[in-house]
Amino acid sequence: MSLLASITTPTDLDALSWAELDELAAEIRTFLVKSVSATGGHLGPNLGVVELTMALHLVFDSPRDSIVFDTGHISYVHKLLTGRQDFGRLRSAGGLSGYPSREESEHDIVENSHASTSLAWAEGIAKGRRLRGETDACTVAVIGDGALTGGMAWEALNDIAADKDLPLVIVVNDNERSYAPTTGGLAEHLAVLRATRSYEQVMSWGRRTVESVPVVGPRAFEALHGMKKGLKDIIAPQVLFEDLGLKYLGPIDGHDVDALATVLRRARDFGGPVIVHAITQKGRGYQHALDNADDAFHAVGVINPETGLPLEIAGRSWTENFSDTLVELGEERQDVVAITAAMLIPVGLREFAEAHPDRVLDVGIAEQHATTMAAGLSFAGMHPVVAIYATFLNRAFDQMLMDCALHGQGVTFVLDRAGVTGSDGASHNGMWDFALASVVPGIRVAAPRDGVRVGELLREAVAIEDGPTVLRFPKGTEPEPIPALDRIGGLDVVARHGLDDVADPDVLLVAVGAMAPVATGAASLLADQGLRVLVVDPRWVLPVSEDLVALARTAGYVGVVEDHVAANGIGSAVAAALAETGEPVTVHRFGLPKTFFTHDSRNRILADAGLTAPAVADAVLASVRPTDTPA
């Protein structure tokens, strides 16, 4: 039996020798490459935290001791060491989540995979236990250098530093990257630590090469404390943390289990908040990941593990259409500037950065800062394009409302991965943006139905200078373009059955963005039942246009189809706009239920929510031609 197969609980690690732990680390990397290649998932980050996770479970007694991962995509090794080794359906329905999951294991704490939250969670857990008189447990936060750029992390550090007796260990997993290379002043500070000559000398003392120190690696650091110039003086740049009042240990080789375990024990026994700075290598042990400078192996689809190449050839993505148009706009307008929150490549800004490197700003994982800085850029005469995932707009809402909208600043938000994303689970579904935007006075929101409309609407959005605009589109491959048959004011007519014009349809379906194929498919099915059906795409969905209100007042049935929470979505906005006219028009809302979806494919989640053409058509028929029921 392999060593990995013998690990069913973290305590099984205690029986292994140092040599066996090294062998186990190699087995885990082989397992990860083979398994994640077959399912897709976060490969590079997990390859980098193998020894670190092993050391955590050697030193801390999970679940009595709580280990909080930030972000949770680095939890694959943790899952393996806590008895979850069936990765055959990773990130699929019925299989393991790609993030920590309380449903899966008592060892998992925080399921939310939004970065920079671990320190606040861990501080709360540690203080709560102390208030309850529980003194036999420790709390650990594992945070990457990328997540450490987020404002919440520094708010928590400021508070933690004021509590000198809080039993809290903060492990900084420093691999110089978040999704892409980490940027900013903190990144430069950590780089100084990594580059310190004394650090390099100490780290070169592997546990097998220095016999004069009883437990080499960390013992070498301890020995330095006895010198005239102790570790604090030899590796001076750590003062950023110690000036905050936080005990600092490191930098430590994040791939030396012995060194890590010894330092983590020192941190655990210190009796107050401690930062352990571990240097790791993202993608370690898999040459394709190490050779890939643009982080294509951060998260992978199904790939050939031998070549690292994808086995599924995707078509052109929604993101690529945004990227191409933004590059064109950058050539045409010198005032267009792009902002990313540590996600330059995933949100399609790489080409713009190559063409206009001085007009791309990466602020780290700090969407709030990005948004208010965008307001300032707008005030200074630029037009910022803030490109983020739709789920992360949640974090920037106050700034969008109070800094951008209140001040009438022309800022364009481009929300990638809007609607259902699926396999990354509840925290990554971008299904709240319409509800958030709908309460912002004066905001304008566009939802393109295909790639052609992405370009058109982006151009229209950046032309608006008196307030914020939002453009949102889903994850994945774009659909075939759906041409407009006609234009009614600002509305595109995308399907018409049994009608010579647009007046008085039996059924009016309002297709919101990527739901246009569903709405047009449902219209075709309804036409087969003899109904006169009209499908329109509002293009700009907020505020609700007067043209749409006027058209809806003539229809026998009005339905709004959107991949967003039905409550407070576009259907709700259309209903509110119609109610203001005093007309008794019922708006039927086809959207997502107000719930947190477990990980599954996008198509299955949409189908379960009734967002398919047959399901929409059946629901419409049930309303316009109700079946008589027995008394």
Spatial contact of 562 and 590, defined as CB atoms under 8 Å apart: yes
Say if residue 63 is preceded by a cis peptide, omega within 30 of 0: yes
**Is 286 among the annotated ligand-binding positions?**
yes
Catalytic, out of 84, 266, 284, 395: 395
From 412, 444, 472, the end of a domain falls on 472
325 and 236 in a common domain: no
Residues above pLDDT 70, as percent of the chain: 88
**Is 115 among the annotated ligand-binding positions?**
yes
522 and 616 in a common domain: yes
Does residue 437 sit within a domain?
yes
Does residue 306 sit within a domain?
no
Task: Answer yes or no: 331 catalytic.
Answer: no
Does residue 9 sit within a domain?
yes
Quote the pLDDT of residue 304: 85
Quote the pLDDT of residue 191: 60
pTM over 0.75: yes
Spatial contact of 623 and 115, defined as CB atoms under 8 Å apart: no
Separation CA 507–CA 45 (nearest Å): 50
Does residue 174 sit within a domain?
yes
Residues 166-213: tens digit of each pLDDT: 999 999 999 876 555 555 555 565 565 555 533 433 343 334 332 333
Separation CA 80–CA 63 (nearest Å): 15
**Is 381 among the annotated ligand-binding positions?**
no
458 and 491 in a common domain: no
Quote the pLDDT of residue 177: 60
pLDDT greater than 60 at residue 108: yes
Separation CA 29–CA 76 (nearest Å): 11
pLDDT band at 225 (very low <50, low <70, confident <90, very high): very low
Task: Answer yes or no: 84 catalytic.
Answer: no
CATH code where residue 124 lies: 3.40.50.970
63 and 211 in a common domain: yes
Residues 317-366: tens digit of each pLDDT: 999 999 999 999 999 999 999 999 989 999 999 999 999 999 999 998 89
Task: Answer yes or no: 332 catalytic.
Answer: no
**Is 114 among the annotated ligand-binding positions?**
yes
Does residue 481 sit within a domain?
no
280 and 329 in a common domain: no
Does residue 246 sit within a domain?
yes
Quote the pLDDT of residue 197: 35
Quote the pLDDT of residue 192: 59
Helices 118-131 and 151-160: crossing angle, nearest 10°? Answer: 30
CA dihedral sign of residues 179, 184, 186, 191: positive
Count of domains forming the chain: 3
Beta strand ranges found along 468-532 (DSSP E): 469-472, 486-488, 491-497, 507-511
359 and 393 in a common domain: yes
Say if residue 53 is preceded by a cis peptide, omega within 30 of 0: no
Spatial contact of 558 and 619, defined as CB atoms under 8 Å apart: no
Separation CA 476–CA 480 (nearest Å): 13
pLDDT band at 562 (very low <50, low <70, confident <90, very high): very high
Quote the pLDDT of residue 239: 56
375 and 286 in a common domain: no
**Is 442 among the annotated ligand-binding positions?**
no
Largest CA distance in the chain: 95
Quote the pLDDT of residue 194: 54
pLDDT greater than 80 at residue 437: yes
Instruction: Tell me which of 292-296, 370-374, 467-471 is least confident.
Output: 292-296
DSSP 8-state class, residue 475: S
537 and 499 in a common domain: yes
Catalytic, out of 247, 282, 444, 539: 282
Residues 24-46: tens digit of each pLDDT: 999 999 999 999 999 999 999 99
Does residue 615 sit within a domain?
yes
Catalytic, out of 123, 367, 478, 562: 367
Residue at 158: amino acid letter: N
Spatial contact of 365 and 178, defined as CB atoms under 8 Å apart: yes
pLDDT greater than 70 at residue 628: no
Does residue 162 sit within a domain?
yes
336 and 224 in a common domain: no
- What residue numbers bound the domain in which 195 lies? 4-291
576 and 438 in a common domain: no
267 and 201 in a common domain: yes
Quote the pLDDT of residue 501: 84
Token digits of residue 342? 């540590």
352 and 397 in a common domain: yes
Sequence-separated (6 or more) residues with CB below 8 Å from residue 230: 224
Quote the pLDDT of residue 224: 36
From 446, 472, 498, the end of a domain falls on 472
CATH code where residue 564 lies: 3.40.50.920
Residues above pLDDT 90, as percent of the chain: 73
Cβ neighbourhood burial of 381 (10 Å; 0-12, 13-18, 19+): exposed
